[in-house]
Structure 1
């Protein structure tokens, strides 16, 4: 069984997720405020095993290095966003981001996780499906909202294809977006039509 805890961090209220499965915790998108994230990990007595970024924008990566170093765990980021992470870390003075795995479709982790490539917001935008939980980054939000495609590397055409991939999933899947509240595939299907 998967347990999801969230910590809202940074100036644009990014959802950092602490996803626990079999006593191990995956930290998804630690976008800022490493001390706040660590305090929650301590409070819940979690055992982090890795940091994972759904995409390369600054508001999802700013606490990567601090969290990685504090817990001595690997950092995984989407391969197609390597150029973007380099640009963002320089522009926002984030410092070095020692990525251990540039992933595409598989993670070097002992988790029953499926990576779903969902380009559109960025070329490397990816969603992570664990059981009936989908961590959608900035691809899908609640109430029929999709991630912006007007940033460098964004593509409205790719976003529409990615949306169709997600709408093909089961209605019961809980969607945990990069910002704002959670939703389900079934609720979102109501905004787009379909089965």
Structure 2
């Protein structure tokens, strides 16, 4: 059976949420599988290789590559060893590679053009702010947002310029992401991964600001408890 991933009637990729942890750090990793070809992608793999390997085996998937939203250790931890094990590429934005110095034998640094990973079409959306080269990935009707957008908030911004960039990135998502798109953030706080963007828009205060200055003032507001920077209740 021939499968055209650009056909709007083609089956949507299947997303498996892999909840992994190391000490106090908890991440969402994602396995994305084409249900027809079994081509698979991993997003931000970290901490628990057995969990990831078991999910890939259960899916019967052939790993076509690893997508990294940004270069923080909890998002790249297993990228190199899994790339070597499966002899597949690792993708990270060229801007993030330059800013972080991340290296891998099969690293592909990209700009903004979509590409095919087997039968899966990957569309990167450059969304700087949390880091200089943060990227969200759109695959079918799914958007993987790393530490840019959570269901209830957005990622930490280190300074004023980064907060301005984050505001612009969130505005880009608001302008370009369809309401029915499923959102898969890098971390879970209150609501589970896979909410529609319409639902995230309703619940997320950080998507309500109308200008960069007020957004930045709130994101960088003084008195935030460092232990609760991601407590959006």
Which category describes the TM-score, using the shorter chain as reference length? 0.7 to 0.9
Query: Where do 5+ consecutive residues of structure 2 fail to align?
Result: 1-11, 210-233
- Deviates most, 160-169 or 30-39: 30-39
Check the 8 A contact 2:125/2:138 in 1, yes or no: yes
Larger radius of gyration: 2
Q: Which residue of 1 aligns with 2:158?
A: 150
Report Cα offsets for 1:31-74 as digits up to 9, x if no partner. Answer: 22223211221122221110110111110001011111111111
**Is 1:27 the counterpart of 2:49 in the alignment?**
no
Give, in whole Å, the separation in 2 of the partners of 1:31 and 1:123. Answer: 21
The 1:179/1:154 distance shift into structure 2, 3 A limit, reads farther
Aligned 8 A contact 1:75 1:100 in 2:
yes
Counterpart in the other structure of 1:4: 15
Contact 2:83 2:106 in 1 (8 A): no
Contact 2:42 2:65 in 1 (8 A): yes
**Cα distance change on mapping 1:154 and 1:137 into 2, 3 Å:** farther
The answer on 1:45 being equivalent to 2:60 is yes
- What is the aligned residue count? 184
**Rounded Cα–Cα distance in structure 2 between residues aligned with 1:83 and 1:112:** 25
Of 151, 159, 164 in structure 1, the residue corresponding to residue 171 of structure 2 is 164
CA RMSD of aligned residues (A): 2.1
TM-score (norm 1): 0.85
- After TM superposition, the score normalised by the length of structure 2 is 0.72
Contact 2:33 2:40 in 1 (8 A): yes
CA spacing shift, 1:99–1:77, aligned 2, 3 Å: farther
Q: Residue 9 of structure 1 aligns to a residue in which SS?
A: strand
Aligned position for 2:148: 139
What is the alpha-carbon distance in structure 1 between the residues aligned to residue 73 and residue 187 of structure 2?
14
Q: Which runs of 4+ in 1 moved over 6 A?
A: none
User: Any stretches of 5+ residues in structure 1 without a counterpart?
Assistant: 90-95
